[in-house]
Structure 1
Amino acid sequence: MDVALPKGTVTQNLETPLVVGWESVSVKANLADDKLDASWLIDVTDNGDLSGKVTLPNVLAEQKTIDGELNLSTFNLDFLQPLVGEFNQLKANLAADIKIKGDALHPELYGQFSVADLSLQGDISPIQVESGKVDIAFNGYNALLDANIQTNDGELKLEGDGNWQDLKAWRTKLRVFADELNVDVPPMVKVKVVPDMTIEANPSLAKITGSIGLPWGRVLVEELPQSAVAVSSDQVLLNPDMTPVNEEKAVPFNVETDVSISIGNDFTISHSVLRVDCAVSSMCLKKTKGHSCKVKSISLMARTVHLVRIC
């Protein structure tokens, strides 16, 4: 079986139309003597190619095996610009070279997936990314992640690994850390953040540990957020069948957190008639399995309080 599509485009009507085009699309498949061979090629206009091939030696076997590969030549994300808006920027080049082997229902992966020349600017991100690179290396049922994100004020690093050899006992681990980053969420928040967080997950538990430093910050509270307003204790959540939702089962696994937050002596919280200058402070948030999130320890001091009028 051979299928071929001529040159064409798909357009999503936005304020600035999003257009994805292709020069050609071809799919080939052949089944003979219980052996299936298939291949495909998508040649995207002014962009990279997505290609691959796969072989199933015996489609009638009870334990089917697979041998294949997936390739993505340098593929840029420039065509997504209409989605991020005129005053924002998203750029990146994707590439992949992955081999697929073993059990057809639980194959092993070998190869590399990478994101290069990453750039993210504008209000779509609280961190302005000047450049960045993300590499994921696959080796059977294991993967290693290494990423470096360069911002205007420093480098954000990510290191991680994962294993899915046993689908009932998969695991992942990710560390996110930086010397110092500027986080700007207009118009309310400008802070410097020093993160060092580790996130671990498996089918039954997600665990977040580490520390967050806030050496400098300017927070302007224009109005009280809805999340700060207490919800009535007699609130009842209903599902589409109009029966009460069991909030205890809202998350399919347990979550544990043990995070220390330290606030420096140049951190100011302002309102229309009030400004609080914080002294050196610290907070530790801890949640253990089966318990609600609690503040393990807290030390918050207002160095000065000013009655002011901010226009």
Structure 2
Amino acid sequence: DIPKLSVNADIQNNNLTLKSDINVQNQGRIGTDLKIHDLSKGRQLGGTFTIKGLRLSLANQLFSSGESLDGEVVSRLSFGGNLEKPLLNGNFDIRNVKTKLKSLPFDVTDGQVAIRFNGTSSTLNGHVQTPDSKLNINGQANWAHINNWTAEVRAQADNFKVDIPSMAKLKISPNVVVKASPKLLDLSGNVDIPWARIAIESLPDNAEPVSEDEVILNGPRKSKEELINRQFASETKSGMQIQSDLKIKIGDDVHLDAYGLKTNLNGLLSVKQDKGNLGLFGQINLKNGRYASFGQDLLIRKGQISFSGLPSQPMLNIEAIRNPEAMEDNKVTAGVKVIGMASSPQVT
């Protein structure tokens, strides 16, 4: 409900004045007092924009049962300069955020974001507090040259807990930077995963390629090669090129349980994206692995998965032997070796 809405626009003598006052469901007010002088040439900016006590709980009516969002938005900004080189001074704050959303892999007990505007630049500081971990956010932006603006945001945390329902619980320590300009969106940094418990009962629909004999009626059929070599978005809708360079370190307390395979993982991966091509480089090691399926009890003696480009085409080097305790003659070693590309490994 909007109990009160008033808008007053006035153009006289080549000047524009715009005033508005919006009362949002008696839980916050948004006000504008904007002036533009000399509309035909100079277009000088002036005036203010204010938000008073706007409650984020207004969005709760959009959520399902058990989900909630609360917090407050407060802002006071003043305008200067002109439309070609705008000046912005003041603050924009999001305070006391608390969330419980199914789309988020963690609950937020306290979230704060403070943006300070200083003419043609701004700074950002904030954090996301969960029941047992904290993520810090800071950044800056500059629009002194409006057609060549820049922005940067850094996220950092130590052992930040993430819970992906029905799949994984993780502790991650990211130190990641996102840089943006009109032509480029760049993601770089490090993500350490010192602890994780991953249990997969079924793969997501997009994980398996389409069967050779399946016909797609409502769209073009994609070959196995197209699925293996599929392209990722190379630019945003606004035309920014996307590139990334992330180092992912898998620590010594990461455990995987999937399809009869139980093993610890560790390793170092580099994720690079450029011009729509996603490259994965590095190696994952299987430690203390065991595979039980179809009546077999196999111990993984060697397990290496090496990536040198295509994420879907790692090089496998795996040796698995039957558990000696299950052998009638424990002097006999029986097992399997898997060596080669994932799409066509040599199995002995």
Q: Which one scores higher on RCO, CA 8 angstroms, separation ≥ 6? A: 1
Distance in 2 between the 1:26 and 1:105 partners?
29
- 2:264 is aligned, of 257, 266, 277, to 277
Contact 2:248 2:269 in 1 (8 A): yes
User: Which residue does 2:19 correspond to in 1?
Assistant: 39
Is the CA contact 1:25–1:42 (under 8 Å) kept in the aligned structure 2?
A: yes
1:300 to 285, 301, 324: 285
Tell me which amino acid in the other structure corresponds to 1:182: K
Cα 1:167–1:34 shift into 2, 3 Å:
closer
Alpha-carbon RMSD: 2.5
What does 1:164-183 align with in structure 2 at a 5 Å threshold? Answer: 164-183=143-162
Using the alignment, how far apart are the partners of 1:98 and 1:208 within structure 2? 30
Runs of 5+ in structure 1 lacking a partner? 1-20, 237-245
Distance 1:93 1:263 in 2: 38
The aligned counterpart of 2:177 is 198
Offset, 1:121: 1.4
Q: Is the 8 Å Cα contact of residues 88 and 124 (structure 1) preserved in structure 2?
A: no
Secondary structure of residue in 2 paired with 1:37: strand
The match for 2:117 among 106, 119, 138 is 138
Moved more, 169-178 or 198-207: 198-207
Q: Which amino acid in 2 is paired with 1:232? A: S
- CA 1:44/1:156 → structure 2, altered by over 3 Å: closer, same or farther? same
CA distance change for structure 1 residues 216 and 234 in 2, over 3 Å: closer, same or farther? closer
Q: State the secondary structure of the residue aligned to 1:168.
A: helix
Shift of 1:29: 3.2
Give the alignment of 1:28-67 within 5 angstroms: 28-59=8-39, 61-67=40-46
Change (3 A) 1:254 1:54: closer
Measured in 2, the distance between the counterparts of 1:58 and 1:94 equals 33
**Separation (CA, whole Å) in 2 of partners of 1:166 and 1:290:** 27
Report the secondary structure of 1:22's partner residue: coil
Cα 1:274–1:299 shift into 2, 3 Å: closer
CA deviations over 1:12-52 (Å, ceiling 9, x no partner): xxxxxxxxx12222222334433333311112232111112
- How many pairs are equivalent? 277
The structure with more radius of gyration: 2
Q: What does 1:1-311 correspond to in 2, within 5 Å?
A: 21-59=1-39, 61-230=40-209, 232-233=223-224, 235=226, 251=236, 252-278=239-265, 280-287=266-273, 289-290=274-275, 292-307=277-292
Shift of 1:204: 2.4
Q: CA deviation at 1:195?
A: 0.8
